Amino acid sequence: MLFLVSLMWGGSFLFVEVALRELPPITIVMARVSLAAVVCYLVMKVSSQVLPRNLALWKSFFVLGLLNNVVPFTLLVWGQQFVLGSVAAILNASIPVSTVILAQIFTDDEKLTVAKVVGIGVALVGVMLVIGLEALSSFSVTNLGQGAILLAGISYAAASVYGRRYGQAGIPPLTVTTGQLIVSSVLLLPIVFIADPDLLDRSVSLQVGLALAGLAIISTSIAFLLYFKLIATVGATNTSLVTMLVPISAIFLLWAVLGQQLPEGAFPGMAAIAAGLFILDGRPFKWAKSKFEMLLQRQA
């Protein structure tokens, strides 16, 4: 299941790459959230769940929809116009770094440790390697795209910290997902008609239509449902490993389907980000500590 979720989220970078051939970013985002909202609502109906009528809850969905859908989806798709999808996936993998920093500021139970500080530092070095050191001396539209993708990661991180309240309140994940997608669709509706005045006259090829369907149904609806099932089955900590697998899935799919190659610096950068995430995760240290303690006990 972990592999499937990573494959579905990695596939989103491929679907966006194809959809950008014929559609502007905001239209792609609108198609993604609106189609996904319909699918999730139908799943709710089939499973005999109902949407909440609590106004305060819908207000919170408004905030979550902005942070988790509208802002990051738009930034990611816009940024992918100027950045290879594989590079976008690698940069997007730095989300846990932003999450740790925001959790330090806005929560009381997820504070920084030495391991987390080291992990953040290593991951940020990886981000700089992916972006390229030349970005420090010259500026281009590519750097704008990379910046947009990193900002999307910060928005996702803020949504992760903000979304903790739903689990604490016992609100079903499917309700939260459907609610935020509905609100996101309503928010984007007037924007998409302003940003894309030719929307109603547009026609897309079968290839782009399938990419939009895949983006909404596979990479959003089904991926989120599996993701929440994973959390319930193996816990949030184990599920967070998907962040490390998504870039690998995206790179493989973009290479296999579009023949996309990684630029110089992407592989060492991805390795540094992965190392930083492993340090942030803490499990390698816990494993090493347990083995060391077992060794001491045997010697004793």
d(CA 95, CA 150): 8
Q: What are phi and psi of 139, to 5 degrees?
A: -125, 140
Q: Is 90 exposed, middle or buried (0-12, 13-18, 19+ CB in 10 A)?
A: buried
pTM: 0.84
Ranking 147-161, 205-219, 224-238 by mean pLDDT, the lowest is 224-238
Q: Give the mean pLDDT of the chain.
A: 85
- pLDDT band (50, 70, 90) for residue 190: very high
d(CA 107, CA 125): 26
d(CA 203, CA 212): 13
d(CA 60, CA 65): 8
Q: What is the 3-state secondary structure (H, E, C) of the chain?
A: CHHHHHHHHHHHHHHHHHHCCCCCHHHHHHHHHHHHHHHHHHHHHHCCCCCCCCHHHHHHHHHHHHHHHHHHHHHHHHHCCCCCHHHHHHHHCCHHHHHHHHHHHHCCCCCCCHHHHHHHHHHHHHHHHHHCHHHHCCCCHHHHHHHHHHHHHHHHHHHHHHCHHHHHHCCCHHHHHHHHHHHHHHHHHHHHHHHCCCHHHCCCCHHHHHHHHHHHHHHHHHHHHHHHHHHHHHCHHHHCCHHHHHHHHHHHHHHHHHCCCCCCCHHHHHHHHHHHHHHHHCHHHHHHHHHHHHHHHHHC
Residue 236 above 60 pLDDT?
Answer: no
- pLDDT band (50, 70, 90) for residue 169: confident
- 177 CB contacts (<8 Å, ≥6 apart)? 40, 224, 225, 228
Residue with tokens 């984007």: 188
- pLDDT band (50, 70, 90) for residue 217: very high
Residue with tokens 């080291």: 118
Span 132-153, average pLDDT: 80
Spatial contact of 104 and 71, defined as CB atoms under 8 Å apart: no
Domain interval for residue 214: 2-299
pLDDT digits (tens, 9 = 90+) for 63-73: 999 998 999 99
Residue 232's pLDDT is what?
Answer: 63
Per the rule left: phi > 0, alpha: psi between -120 and 50, beta: everything else, 205 is beta
Residue 91's pLDDT is what?
Answer: 87
Span 135-160, average pLDDT: 83
Residue 240 above 70 pLDDT?
Answer: no
Paired tokens of 285: 């240290």
Residue 230's pLDDT is what?
Answer: 75
Span 215-235, average pLDDT: 81
- 53 CB contacts (<8 Å, ≥6 apart)? none
Residue 238 above 70 pLDDT?
Answer: no
Residue 76's pLDDT is what?
Answer: 95
Residue 136's pLDDT is what?
Answer: 58
Spatial contact of 146 and 131, defined as CB atoms under 8 Å apart: yes
Residue 284 above 80 pLDDT?
Answer: no
Spatial contact of 95 and 240, defined as CB atoms under 8 Å apart: no
Residue 28's pLDDT is what?
Answer: 96
Q: Which residue has the higher pLDDT, 281 or 257?
A: 257
Q: How many domains does the chain have?
A: 1
Q: What is the CA radius of gyration of the chain?
A: 20
Q: Which residue has the higher pLDDT, 84 or 160?
A: 84
